[in-house]
Amino acid sequence: MKHISWFDFRSIKQKILFFGGFALLLVAACIIGYAAFALNSEAMNAAHDEMNSIAEREAAYIGKVLEEPYFTASSTASGLAGIREKNSHFARTDVISLLEGILKDHPLYNGIYTIWEPGVFDGLDEQYKLREGYDKTGRLRIYWYRDADGTLVRKMYDETTKDPGSYYDIPKKTGKGELIEPYLETMQNPPVLMASVSLPAMMNNTFAGIVAIDIALTDIEKIADSLDLYSGTGKMVVLSHEGLIAGASGDQDVAGRPFSEIAASLGLPQEIILDAVSSGEKRTFSYNGFIGSISPVIVGEAPTPWSVVVYAPADVVTRKATEQTIILIIIGIVFSIFGLFLLFLVARSISRPIEEITSVAHDLSLGDISTQVTIQQNDEVGRLADAFRILTKNLKNNAESAERIAAGDLKFKIEAASEKDVLGNSMIRMKETLSGVTATMNHLAGKAASGDLSVRGDADSFSGEFALIIRGVNATLDAVIAPLHEAMRLARQYADNDFSARFDPTVQTTGDFVSFRDAMNSIGIQVTKTIQNIQNRMVELTASTEEAQASADEVARGSSVVAEHAESVSVRADQGSEATSHILHAMEDLSVAVSDVAIRSESVSKLTEKGNDISKQGQKLASAASQGMEGIRNATGDLNRIILSIQEQMTQINNVIAIITGISDETNLLALNAAIEAARAGDAGRGFAVVADEVKDLAMESHASAEKIEEMIRNLQKESSRASDLMSRAHSQVELGYEAVGQSLTLFGDIAGMLEQIARDVSDVAASSEEEAASVSEITRNIEHVASLIKETADSAVSSAAVSQETSAAVAQIRKVVEHVNSVVASLQKEIDQFTI
């Protein structure tokens, strides 16, 4: 017979209800207990804070009540001492009147008095001995007080009056004000409990006497009795420095008694309170069911402060916290009952699915599920565990086989538990299929690693997803190899400067290879366009240089003709000068040689006309030379602009090369990533590693081709820069030649004008020789003028010849520059012809 304990449940529902209910109640009890403790602590802290505040408030109020007479006595003492220090005539009668007036003006004061040291006030003590109102010493000693009906009465001293007590001795000893302990004044009827403040009168820092004021403690008793704390349960006691009761709430009979006599009856801690009162400290206490606070009463500089004690029953202070705790307990019980009801519903919902799972587990015990069971109990879960144990025993071997297959071990034999062991038989077929797939992948990887990418796996030997895997590997190899070979072929043609080649459109590309194909084609297209633009610019440059060469030749021929004509003009001018010289010699025999003069004048006229014609022809040639120079200048400007355009095309080629270099770098990075992935795949990734190496080689070839093209472009840029510099120099020489031709044109114009003037003068000479033979002197002057003009003509002709020579030299320099430009253009054309587009 099995032993059944209290914790041996037959139902999981019962277990859930038991432990869940226990946990719920335990949590509720803990929460409520903590809340009650927190509320009680908070209430106690709040009560302490409130009592501290009330004690401080009441102590401050009582302090004000005592401070007012304290400062009145202090000012009176200081005033009397000051008067006597100045030797002012202030009689004793004046002091009597002063004290009477102060008491009259302060109805709360019960009495005021002053006592001075013997012989100090006015030195007239001997005269006042035993006089009315004075004692046997005759010292100044005046006391005014109020009787029962409020009448002011002066106390009269005589020979029986005793010496002053502590109210005089303490200020004399300390030199400070004193708050005198409560005492019962029997001089009044009925006796009154009073306290006094006594302040010293100091003259030249020496004690001279005191001024004191009596206060009835009935006001302080009223303050204590008026306290309303916690519905009257809170109390207050005012204690003097020595522990005498100056006032208490609700009980007037204790006033004036020592606190030690009634502390036990009040239920208060005597030692704690008296220690705090004597030290003048603030304290709080919890004692014998009471909590309270102690606060000192500060009055001026008095070294003996009083204290206020405020206290109340602890159960009253925590009453609200207790009520809230009861409410929390009730709420906790209600919610616990509600929680137990919910727990019952949850337990029932848990037990029903477990019962259903138990019946299903018996049907699956032949090998459908593998699990490890460690539960040993007698409820529904226990019966479910028994069924799973049977299932575990049958599936143990299959689980071990699955572990070995998962670890990559396919070289073992799997045995099924029975013919119905679907899982075991399926694992046998799975192992065989995985072995075939592994062998095929290893075969493909080995061939790829050896560089043979033409081998493919036999997908028909498999079925389902395994056949798709083999077909996928074959398709991957096909998709990678064809574009790769085509890209390598195209890169080699680009490296051989053949940019007319394009990616074979019959090669199928997909995915990222489409972008790769377009990028390779874009390289050929962009480079082809750039080279064609350069060739077009070179053709324009060649035509411009030829035009400049022709213009330079024409200018050179014109300059030669100008030089020849200038020389002829110079010869004719020399001849004219010689003729005029003969004319001058013949003027002596003018009378007989008039006819000879006329003939020679006519000859000079013809010579000048011919020189004028030659100079005009030279002027036309110079004008033609100027137009030729203008054409050369325009041609050199066009050449310079063409060279600059070529340089811009070179920059665009550099941009294309940068794109090629970027593509090659990215291709190299792609190959590196593929190699990393192939390494991760192990033997199955060796084929992809070969492909990655091929891609890397392609990227390196593309990068080398781009660097070669970039080097060629840099050479072309250097040559184009030299051509641009030469064209700039040629343009400068053309400008100089253009200016020289302009000067020649101006000189020929001057020569023509001079020759016309010579012709007119010779005609005038001939006419004069025929008409006026007697005017020899006038003719002589005209001939001399003609001679000077001829000389100037000769000089101008010489200058024109020199300018023509300078023009010829400039044209020769231009010709050399143009020839050098032609050589640079030929060199550029030779470099460009290496490209196939």
Residue 142's nearest CA partner among 183, 176, 91 is 91
| Mean pLDDT, the chain, integer | 74
Provide mean pLDDT across the span 39-67: 84
Percent of the chain whose predicted confidence (pLDDT) is above 70: 61
pLDDT bucket at 736, cuts 50 / 70 / 90: confident
Provide mean pLDDT across the span 468-490: 79
pLDDT bucket at 767, cuts 50 / 70 / 90: low
Residue 250, token pair as written in the block: 């609700």
Q: Is the pLDDT of residue 809 over 50?
A: yes
Q: Is the pLDDT of residue 423 over 60?
A: yes
Provide mean pLDDT across the span 230-243: 86
pLDDT tens per residue across span 598-610? 565 566 556 556 6
Question: Alpha-carbon distance 194 to 221, whole Å?
Answer: 11
pLDDT bucket at 596, cuts 50 / 70 / 90: low
**Amino acid 307: pLDDT:** 92
What is the edge-to-edge ordering of all strands in the sheet holding 283-287? 245-248, 235-239, 306-313, 290-297, 283-287
More confident residue, 710 or 790: 710
> Taking the chain, what is the end-to-end CA distance rounded to the nearest angstrom?
105
Provide mean pLDDT across the span 636-640: 66
**Amino acid 680: pLDDT:** 46
User: Cβ distance 317 to 289 under 8 Å?
Assistant: no
Q: Is the pLDDT of residue 835 over 80?
A: no
Query: How many Cα atoms are found within 13 Å in the side-chain-facing hemisphere of 15?
Result: 14
Provide mean pLDDT across the span 342-352: 74
pLDDT bucket at 652, cuts 50 / 70 / 90: confident
pLDDT tens per residue across span 392-413? 666 667 767 777 787 778 777 7
Provide mean pLDDT across the span 186-210: 85
Question: Which range has highest mean pLDDT (57-66, 215-224, 481-490)?
Answer: 57-66
pLDDT tens per residue across span 12-26? 667 777 777 888 888
Q: Is the pLDDT of residue 721 over 70?
A: yes
Residue 665's nearest CA partner among 699, 705, 704, 701 is 699
Which stretch of 326-340, 394-408, 754-768 has the lowest confidence by average pLDDT?
754-768
Provide mean pLDDT across the span 299-323: 83
Residue 245's nearest CA partner among 202, 195, 182, 294 is 182
Question: Alpha-carbon distance 789 to 573, whole Å?
Answer: 9
More confident residue, 328 or 2: 328
**Amino acid 16: pLDDT:** 75
Question: Alpha-carbon distance 672 to 670, whole Å?
Answer: 5
Residue 748's nearest CA partner among 703, 702, 797, 791 is 797
User: Cβ distance 385 to 357 under 8 Å?
Assistant: no
Q: Is the pLDDT of residue 710 over 70?
A: yes
**Placement of tokens 């064809």 in the chain:** 482
Question: Alpha-carbon distance 831 to 128, whole Å?
Answer: 146
Q: Look at residue 236 and give its three-state secondary structure.
A: strand
Provide mean pLDDT across the span 710-735: 70
pLDDT tens per residue across span 520-537? 788 888 888 887 787 787
pLDDT bucket at 769, cuts 50 / 70 / 90: low
**Amino acid 520: pLDDT:** 77
Which stretch of 144-148, 495-499, 792-796 has the lowest confidence by average pLDDT?
792-796
DSSP code of residue 258: B
DSSP string, 420-431: T-HHHHHHHHHH
Residue 784, token pair as written in the block: 């001399």
More confident residue, 198 or 680: 198
User: Cβ distance 491 to 698 under 8 Å?
Assistant: yes
Indicate the helix (H) or strand (E) that contains 240: none
Q: Is the pLDDT of residue 49 over 60?
A: yes
CA distances from residue 774 to 584, 590, 763, 769, 771 in whole angstroms, order as listed: 15, 9, 17, 9, 9
More confident residue, 370 or 139: 139
Residue 531, token pair as written in the block: 């080279």
pLDDT bucket at 578, cuts 50 / 70 / 90: low
Q: Is the pLDDT of residue 79 over 70?
A: yes
Q: Is the pLDDT of residue 31 over 80?
A: yes
DSSP code of residue 379: S
3-state helix/strand/coil string of 640-670: HHHHHHHHHHHHHHHHHHHHHHHHHHHHHHH
φ and ψ of 307, to 5 deg: -145, 155
Question: Alpha-carbon distance 224 to 251, whole Å?
Answer: 10
DSSP code of residue 115: E
Greatest Cα pair distance, the chain, in angstroms, is: 193
**CATH architecture for the domain at 91-216:** 2-Layer Sandwich (3.30)
CATH number of 526-833: 1.10.287.950
Residue 278, token pair as written in the block: 């004597």
Give me the residues paired with residue 209 across strands: 116, 201
Percent of the chain whose predicted confidence (pLDDT) is above 90: 7
Provide mean pLDDT across the span 279-294: 88
Provide mean pLDDT across the span 770-783: 59
* Burial state string for 505-526 with b = 16 or more CB within 10 A and e = fewer than 16: eeeebeeebeebbebbeebbeb
Domain ranges of the chain: 91-216, 526-833
Q: Is the pLDDT of residue 4 over 50?
A: no
